[in-house]
Structure 1
């Protein structure tokens, strides 16, 4: 995924929401450019050892899947997710043996799947897979995913700076 531009200032709500989410998603790959495998998997925070560049990419991928596939459209989990009933709550971040390039490709594929899933849904469409009496709308999910992705892009930025001093934020690069 290449870095995309901000959505047009006067675009409709759907274009704004999906545009801001796509912009934040594009920063994930950008923050990881040029990392070695060792650096991608290096823990720089002693109190949060799973918070690595690779771990965050995996976390974001599985959040996409969880919100858009499992919760929104109700795709049943057939064991493909990293979570188990009594497993570690951050199991998706145990990726020491997975190459960063693979994690980034899986993230991009999941983002594309998410976009395809929501393409024909109303922003008022409600979650089908939660069994909850108070399901979230697609509008809520998009706002949440903008927040979730942007927060973790900030983490990626800080971790990258701690690893090698690299900083970059370029939202004006054309797609």
Structure 2
């Protein structure tokens, strides 16, 4: 059930970016916010979230590089989907009660179930940001 919910969130990220130009994906629509608050940056960040939690924290492996933020949106989306597939495989191969192998100093190790719940929460939060930015960009709403 958790994996299915996360997959729905992940798929909706792609839908929010459908038919969007690279220029619009990089446009800072809300000038009062961080210059990073763009559609392209959110996709880039979500890739790092998947990589950081499932590969770095859970498996304890060094993180690999992700495409540069300057890459076209299509490349950023492909990298996100590829990282999501790696995350799916990690979840499929491990028990949800298994603890991560790495955590920042001073923090307790958490289970794969906790990580899955956290990534759902973080993806959903940023999906809300994507929803707002997309509607302000061109009026497109919905899933």
Smaller-chain TM-score range?
over 0.9
Query: Tell me, which stretches of 5 or more residues in structure 1 are unaligned?
Result: 1-15, 83-91, 170-175
* 1:156 partnered with 2:130: yes
In the alignment, which residue of structure 2 is the partner of 1:127? Answer: 100
Distance in structure 1 (CA, Å) of the matches to 2:90 and 2:13 = 21
Q: 1:103 aligns with which of 76, 79, 82?
A: 76
Q: Which one has the bigger helix percentage?
A: 2
How many residues are matched?
A: 141
TM-score scaled by structure 2? Answer: 0.92
Runs of 4+ in 1 over 4 A off after TM superposition: none
TM-score scaled by structure 1? Answer: 0.76
For residues 47-75 of structure 1, give each alpha carbon's deviation from its aligned partner in whole angstroms, at most 9, with x where no partner exists. 22101110000000010000000000101
For residues 146-173 of structure 1, give each alpha carbon's deviation from its aligned partner in whole angstroms, at most 9, with x where no partner exists. 100011111000000111110122xxxx
Distance in structure 2 (CA, Å) of the matches to 1:105 and 1:58 = 10
> SS of 1:119's equivalent?
helix
Q: Which structure has the greater CA radius of gyration?
A: 1
In the alignment, which residue of structure 2 is the partner of 1:5? Answer: none
Alpha-carbon RMSD across the aligned residues, in angstroms, is: 1.6
